[in-house]
Chain A
Amino acid sequence: MSAVESATAIQRSQVDLLDFIDWSGVECLNQNSNHSIANALKQGYREDEGLNLESDADEQLLIYIPFTQVIKLHSIVIKGSEEEGPKTVKLFSNKEHMGFSNVNDFPSSDTAVLSPDNLKGKPTVLKYVKFQNVRSLTIFIEDNQSGSEITKVQKIALHGSTVETTDMKGLKKIEEH
Chain B
Amino acid sequence: MVLEATMICIDNSERMRNGDYSPSRFQAQADAVNLICGAKTQSNPENTVGVLIMAGKGVRVLVTPTSDLGKLLACMHGLEIGGEMDLAAGIQVAQLALKHRQNKKQQQRIIVFAGSPIKPDKKSLEMIGRKLKKNSVALDIVNFGEDDEGKTEKLEALLAAVNNNDSSHIVHVPAGPNALSDVLISTPIFTGDGEGGSGFAAAAAAAAAGGVSGFEFGVDPNLDPELALALRVSMEEERARQEAAAKKAAEEASKQEKGGEQQSSSQDATMTEHASGATSEADNKRNDLSDDDNALLQQALAMSMDEPASSHDVQDTEMSDAAADDPELALALQLSVQDSAKDSSSQADVSKLLADQSFVSSILASLPGVDPNDPSVKEVLASMQSQSEVSSSNLVTQQKQDEDKAPNEEK
Q: Which residues of A are at the interface with B, using a C-beta cutoff of 8 A?
A: 29-30, 33, 56-58, 60, 96-97, 99-101
Decide yes or no: A33 and B165 within 8 Å by CB, A96-B104, A101-B99 being known contacts: yes
Q: List 16 A-B contacts (CB under 8 A).
A: A29-B134, A29-B135, A29-B136, A30-B136, A33-B164, A33-B165, A56-B133, A56-B164, A57-B130, A57-B133, A96-B104, A97-B104, A99-B99, A100-B135, A101-B99, A101-B135
B residues 92-140 touching A (CB-CB < 8 Å): 99, 104, 130-131, 133-136
* Contact partners of B134 in chain A: CB under 8 A: 29-30, 56-58, 60, 100
A143 to B135, CA, bound (A): 17
* Contact partners of A97 in chain B: CB under 8 A: 104
A84 to B7, CA, bound (A): 36
A60 to B131, CA, bound (A): 11
A101 to B135, CA, bound (A): 9
- Chain B residue total in the interface (Cβ 8 A): 10
A71 to B130, CA, bound (A): 36
Given contacts A29-B135, A97-B104, A99-B99, 8 further A-B contacts (CB under 8 A): A29-B134, A29-B136, A56-B133, A57-B130, A57-B131, A57-B133, A99-B135, A101-B135
* Contact partners of B165 in chain A: CB under 8 A: 33
Expressed in whole angstroms, the minimum distance between the Cβ of A44 and any Cβ of chain B is 24
* Contact partners of B136 in chain A: CB under 8 A: 29-30
Expressed in whole angstroms, the minimum distance between the Cβ of B124 and any Cβ of chain A is 15
Q: Which residues of B are at the interface with A, using a C-beta cutoff of 8 A?
A: 99, 104, 130-131, 133-136, 164-165
CB nearest neighbor in B for A32: B164
A96 to B136, CA, bound (A): 16
Cross-chain contact A58 with B104 (CB below 8 angstroms): no
A60 to B135, CA, bound (A): 11
* Contact partners of B104 in chain A: CB under 8 A: 96-97
* Contact partners of A96 in chain B: CB under 8 A: 104
CB nearest neighbor in A for B164: A33
* Contact partners of B135 in chain A: CB under 8 A: 29-30, 99-101
CB nearest neighbor in A for B96: A101
A96 to B165, CA, bound (A): 26
Decide yes or no: A58 and B99 within 8 Å by CB, A33-B164, A100-B135 being known contacts: no
Q: Name the residue in B104, B130, B134, B136 with the highest tally of chain A Cβ atoms < 10 Å from its Cβ.
A: B134
A100 to B132, CA, bound (A): 11
* Contact partners of A57 in chain B: CB under 8 A: 130-131, 133-134
CB nearest neighbor in B for A31: B136
* Contact partners of A101 in chain B: CB under 8 A: 99, 135
A96 to B104, CA, bound (A): 10
A33 to B166, CA, bound (A): 12
* Contact partners of A60 in chain B: CB under 8 A: 134
* Contact partners of B164 in chain A: CB under 8 A: 33, 56
A97 to B133, CA, bound (A): 16
* Contact partners of A100 in chain B: CB under 8 A: 134-135
A100 to B135, CA, bound (A): 7
Expressed in whole angstroms, the minimum distance between the Cβ of A29 and any Cβ of chain B is 6
Expressed in whole angstroms, the minimum distance between the Cβ of B109 and any Cβ of chain A is 16
Expressed in whole angstroms, the minimum distance between the Cβ of B146 and any Cβ of chain A is 31
Expressed in whole angstroms, the minimum distance between the Cβ of A32 and any Cβ of chain B is 9
A138 to B134, CA, bound (A): 16
A101 to B132, CA, bound (A): 12
Expressed in whole angstroms, the minimum distance between the Cβ of B163 and any Cβ of chain A is 11
* Contact partners of A29 in chain B: CB under 8 A: 134-136
Expressed in whole angstroms, the minimum distance between the Cβ of A56 and any Cβ of chain B is 7
Expressed in whole angstroms, the minimum distance between the Cβ of B38 and any Cβ of chain A is 29
A60 to B133, CA, bound (A): 12
A100 to B131, CA, bound (A): 10
A96 to B105, CA, bound (A): 11
CB nearest neighbor in A for B99: A99
CB nearest neighbor in B for A102: B99
CB nearest neighbor in B for A33: B165
CB nearest neighbor in B for A34: B165
CB nearest neighbor in A for B162: A57
CB nearest neighbor in B for A97: B104
A60 to B99, CA, bound (A): 18
A33 to B167, CA, bound (A): 12
A100 to B134, CA, bound (A): 8
**When A and B form their complex, which 8 residue pairs have the shortest distance between CB atoms, in order from nearest?**
A57-B130, A57-B134, A30-B134, A97-B104, A57-B133, A33-B165, A99-B135, A99-B99
A33 to B136, CA, bound (A): 11
* Contact partners of B133 in chain A: CB under 8 A: 30, 56-57
Expressed in whole angstroms, the minimum distance between the Cβ of A38 and any Cβ of chain B is 16
A97 to B99, CA, bound (A): 10
A97 to B105, CA, bound (A): 9
CB nearest neighbor in A for B131: A57
A153 to B136, CA, bound (A): 20
Expressed in whole angstroms, the minimum distance between the Cβ of B293 and any Cβ of chain A is 70
A164 to B310, CA, bound (A): 60
Expressed in whole angstroms, the minimum distance between the Cβ of B57 and any Cβ of chain A is 26
CB nearest neighbor in A for B104: A97
Q: Name the residue in B104, B130, B135, B165 with the highest tally of chain A Cβ atoms < 10 Å from its Cβ.
A: B135
Expressed in whole angstroms, the minimum distance between the Cβ of B94 and any Cβ of chain A is 14
Expressed in whole angstroms, the minimum distance between the Cβ of A66 and any Cβ of chain B is 12
Expressed in whole angstroms, the minimum distance between the Cβ of A99 and any Cβ of chain B is 6
* Contact partners of B131 in chain A: CB under 8 A: 57
A30 to B136, CA, bound (A): 7
A64 to B104, CA, bound (A): 13
